[in-house]
Amino acid sequence: MSNEAKLELDGKTFTLPTITGSEQERAVDVSSLRANTGYITLDDGYGNTGSCVSKVTFIDGDKGILRYRGIPIEELAEKSNFIETAYLLIYGSLPTRPQLKTFSDLLAEHQFLHEDMKYHFQGFPTGSHPMAILSSMINAASCFDEGLMHWQFGKMKQFDIYVAKLISQVRTIAAYSYRKSQGLPLIYPKQSYKYTPNFLHMLFSMPYEEFDIKPEVAKALDLIFLLHADHEQNCSTSTVRMVASSQANLFASCAAGVCALWGPLHGGANQAVLEMLADIHSSGDDGSKFITAAKDKNSGKKLMGFGHRVYKNHDPRATIIKKSCDEVLSRLNISDPLLDIAKKLEEAALKDSYFVERKLYPNVDFYSGIIMRAIGIPVEMFTVIFAIGRMPGWIANYKEIMEEPKSRIYRPRQIYTGKTINSYVPLDQRK
Ligand code: COA
């Protein structure tokens, strides 16, 4: 079989090379197309465009497969934890015991923010969205660090320290963002706590009372971080790569990822799911009226937490998280009417030809919101939790761009459909 593609354009035949990935996924390499033919490819929304080659994460959307560095997500969810998985994503293999210790020690060492950053938090009005504070403060961290200000792309001797700083400090900033949004005093991280319990401590302790961290709550949250740790070239990761390609520093690039993640069609979906369930509940509907509305394009409603650009069979993360959701709720002895509605919606949608024909299945956001609600995470923090989880994936992709000797700035083209040449009309002559 030929490993070249033939393209006929304007009566001429052009040959394009093809490339095959390690999982046999194939691409036609069009990088020389414009130079050779004068044409570009057009792929609105990038549904058929491979923007890079990458070794980090493999997804087969038709089969419902997700693997970090080759390891199935199901195995990691059962046997690993968020910090070990973060190491795996960023450095390419599971850490040895000494490597894990060094990484954990670096995280603990760099978890404190520069004291003066506290004054920046004070500048945000109470009620600000924590995602706005998070992206601003990750970027603002550059002003407090010489290395970030004078970033030497690919030549930073202490890149590992910046990796640890970002993973550790994003959690501190995230907790402070919430405390600030609620007008509560900031709580410092504790050196003796592990990553996820420390986050719960900063989120919920008071100066006069330590928060009682239940192991099952910390475990469920750690699993949510792990399941979100990477998802190949989605909107926010592509944003991080785009910014990184201009050689912006690690913090600035990942702050851009936070902004991309905020939208309701991406990371904001878990918040949107909960809001949808709460609306259904307060309207007295059991979900059936909403299903009908979600199928009607004029209703402006969608079944949030359903559908995925890549998964067209099932989202493997949704299967894992659904199980965790049932466990957490039964261990904490919580019965949640919103969970009952979610289950009814899922059952009805999976039988409904509209959803079946369009291959719309529950995605990870459908159940993560319910777990977070059960463990006391406020709704406006849901997307922030996603951002903390996704940080290792963003860093791994940043590192990949940085270490690629031939990497060049991302600069897509367009097909212009606006006016052809036009003249400036002075203000008093305009109609
Ligand atoms: N509820 C109802 N209809 C939906 C739907 C949903 N959640 N998601 C997709 N559809 C419909 C579309 O209207 C479209 O219908 P049509 O073919 O009759 O026009 C069809 O299914 C294909 O959807 P499309 O928007 O082309 O899919 P996409 O790949 O561009 O978008 C999502 C994927 C995730 C953005 C989309 O499914 C969505 O908005 N889901 C809800 C938000 C969400 O949960 N996001 C989190 C993703 S992890």
> Measured in angstroms, how far is the CA atom of residue 309 from the centroid of ligand 1?
8
The conformation of residue 57, written as its DSSP 8-state character, comes to: E
Q: Cα(159)–Cα(181) distance, rounded to whole angstroms?
A: 32
Tell me the per-residue pLDDT of 305-344, one tens digit each, with 9 for 90 and over. Answer: 999 988 888 899 999 998 998 888 888 888 888 888 988 9
Tell me the per-residue pLDDT of 359-384, one tens digit each, with 9 for 90 and over. Answer: 999 888 888 888 898 888 988 899 99
State the pLDDT confidence band at 1, using cuts at 50, 70 and 90.
low
pLDDT at 402 over 60: yes
- In this structure, the residue with its CA closest to atom 4 of ligand 1 is 302
Write out the residue limits of the CATH 1.10.230.10 domain(s) in the chain. 269-374
CATH superfamily membership of 269-374: Cytochrome P450-Terp, domain 2 (1.10.230.10)
Which three-class secondary structure state does DSSP give residue 75?
helix
Tell me the per-residue pLDDT of 248-283, one tens digit each, with 9 for 90 and over. Answer: 999 999 999 999 999 988 888 888 899 999 999 999
Determine contact, residues 293/301, Cβ cutoff 8 Å: yes
Residue 103 CB burial class (10 angstroms; 0-12, 13-18, ≥19):
buried
- Across the chain, mean pLDDT equals 93
User: Is the C-beta atom of 291 inside 6 A of ligand 1?
Assistant: no
**Widest Cα–Cα separation across the chain:** 79
pLDDT at 245: 97
Centroid of chain to Cα 199: 18
User: Is the C-beta atom of 303 inside 6 A of ligand 1?
Assistant: yes
Q: Which atom of ligand 1 is nearest to the CA of 364?
A: 48
> Measured in angstroms, how far is the CA atom of residue 307 from the centroid of ligand 1?
5
Task: Tell me which residue of 341, 320, 327 sits closest to 375, measured CA to CA.
Answer: 327
Centroid of chain to Cα 128: 21
> Measured in angstroms, how far is the CA atom of residue 296 from the centroid of ligand 1?
13
Structure tokens at 303: 């079944």
User: What amino acid occupies position 284?
Assistant: G
Write out the residue limits of the CATH 2.20.28 domain(s) in the chain. 4-65
Any catalytic annotation for residue 308? yes
Determine contact, residues 398/241, Cβ cutoff 8 Å: yes
Catalytic residue among 120, 230, 308, 315: 308
Element (H, E) at 88: helix 82-91
> Measured in angstroms, how far is the CA atom of residue 40 from the centroid of ligand 1?
28
Tell me the per-residue pLDDT of 120-150, one tens digit each, with 9 for 90 and over. Answer: 988 999 888 999 999 999 999 999 999 999 9
Residue 357: Cβ within 10 Å count: 8
The single residue listed with the structure tokens 């490993």 is: 3
Task: Tell me which residue of 345, 303, 302, 301 sits closest to 322, measured CA to CA.
Answer: 345
Sign of the CA dihedral running 137, 143, 144, 150 = positive
> Measured in angstroms, how far is the CA atom of residue 380 from the centroid of ligand 1?
23
Tell me the per-residue pLDDT of 60-90, one tens digit each, with 9 for 90 and over. Answer: 999 999 999 999 999 999 999 999 999 999 9
- In this structure, the residue with its CA closest to atom 43 of ligand 1 is 305
Of 48, 273, 302, the one to substitute when testing ligand 1's pocket (max ligand atoms within 8 A of C-beta) is 302
User: Is the C-beta atom of 241 inside 6 A of ligand 1?
Assistant: no
Q: Cα(293)–Cα(312) distance, rounded to whole angstroms?
A: 22
Determine contact, residues 232/55, Cβ cutoff 8 Å: no
Q: Cα(255)–Cα(240) distance, rounded to whole angstroms?
A: 8
Q: Cα(268)–Cα(365) distance, rounded to whole angstroms?
A: 9
Q: Cα(283)–Cα(130) distance, rounded to whole angstroms?
A: 28
- In this structure, the residue with its CA closest to atom 26 of ligand 1 is 309
Return the minimum-mean-pLDDT range out of 28-42, 87-101, 119-133, 392-406: 119-133
The conformation of residue 362, written as its DSSP 8-state character, comes to: B
State the pLDDT confidence band at 430, using cuts at 50, 70 and 90.
very high
| Mean pLDDT value across residues 210-233 | 95
Q: Which residues contact 28 (CB under 8 A, 6 or more apart)?
A: 5, 16, 17, 18
Any catalytic annotation for residue 365? yes
Which three-class secondary structure state does DSSP give residue 17?
strand
User: Is the C-beta atom of 399 inside 6 A of ligand 1?
Assistant: no
The single residue listed with the structure tokens 């261990």 is: 331
Fold exhibited by the domain 4-65: Rubrerythrin, domain 2 (2.20.28)
